[in-house]
Amino acid sequence: MWQIEKTTKSCQNCNSPIDVSQHYFSALFTNLTPADKDHQSTAGDSRLLRRDFCANCWEKRTAAGEEEPFSFWQTIIEPPAEPPKTPREVLLNFFDNLFVEDVMPAERPAENKDVIQVSNLGVPGPDTRLKSQVKYLFALIMMRKKLLRLKSPLTRDNIRYLVLERFGDNKTYEVQEVNISDEELTSLRQEFSQLFEFRI
């Protein structure tokens, strides 16, 4: 069984480090050094010696006609992938967006692809019955998921509100209590599921 080593992340010839996103060449050689052969005999396996070269040194060794490798390839050290947005962050972004009033297009900040826009749910900026329903239902979902907690009820102008506090930074929201029929509830849940592409 062949054992192939991982990249050394440095050039075999000039010893310069191979940086993230830098193209380089990896080559496998069968002509092992005495130390490599001793290791191979004691380990009881077969090994190909891997050597990494920066692009400049690879061109130089190719032009000089140095030892041909058993195999070689060009590769790159990929940067670490950014962690995907978690459902928690998606829900918080959407909920925050429900409280952003309509602004003129020229005044709107650049769209963030990780933020779900309220308009995707057909909810206009100023409070309407639909938007109030979305706020209220979504607040209940956020409480169930322990992203928001009830700080206190509030009555203003004979209208009842929930004063909610976000875990972590204690940001507060006022959400009007509204009646939602069974039909409206079913419709909103379906739209939420389609929008977020996971069960909420």
Which of 54, 76, 98 corresponds to the end of one domain? 76
Structural domain contains residue 46: yes
Decide if pLDDT at 26 tops 90. yes
Residues with Cβ within 8 Å of 182's Cβ and at least 6 positions away in sequence, in order, are: none
Decide if pLDDT at 44 tops 60. no
Burial 57-92, CB ≥16 within 10 A → b, else e: bbeebeeeeeeebeebeeeeeeeeeeeeeeeeebbb
| Residue whose token pair is 């977020």 | 196
What is the reported pLDDT for 33?
55
Q: Are residues 98 and 187 in the same domain?
A: yes
Question: Within 10 A of 197 (CB to CB), how many other CB atoms are there?
Answer: 8
The total number of structural domains in the chain stands at 2
Structural domain contains residue 43: yes
Q: Are residues 140 and 172 in the same domain?
A: yes
Helix (H) or strand (E) holding 190: helix 182-196
Q: Are residues 109 and 168 in the same domain?
A: yes
Q: Are residues 128 and 190 in the same domain?
A: yes
Q: Are residues 38 and 60 in the same domain?
A: yes
Rounded to the nearest integer, the mean pLDDT of the chain is 78
Structural domain contains residue 189: yes
Which of 57, 76, 95 corresponds to the end of one domain? 76
Structural domain contains residue 175: yes
Q: Are residues 186 and 143 in the same domain?
A: yes
Mean pLDDT over 138-152 rounds to 92
Q: Are residues 69 and 98 in the same domain?
A: no
Amino acid identity, residue 139?
A: A
Instruction: Report helix angle 129-144 to 87-97, nearest 10.
Output: 150
Q: Are residues 183 and 121 in the same domain?
A: yes
Q: Are residues 162 and 183 in the same domain?
A: yes
Structural domain contains residue 109: yes
Domain range spanning residue 26? 8-76
Structural domain contains residue 63: yes
Amino acid identity, residue 179?
A: N
As given in the structure block, the two tokens for residue 10 are: 């440095």
What would the pLDDT profile of 120-129 be if each residue is shown by its tens digit?
444 444 457 8
Which of 76, 102, 136 corresponds to the end of one domain? 76
As given in the structure block, the two tokens for residue 133 are: 């329903």
Structural domain contains residue 81: no
Decide if pLDDT at 42 tops 90. no
Q: What is the pTM of this model?
A: 0.48
Decide if pLDDT at 171 tops 70. yes
What is the reported pLDDT for 32?
59
Q: Are residues 110 and 155 in the same domain?
A: yes
Structural domain contains residue 1: no
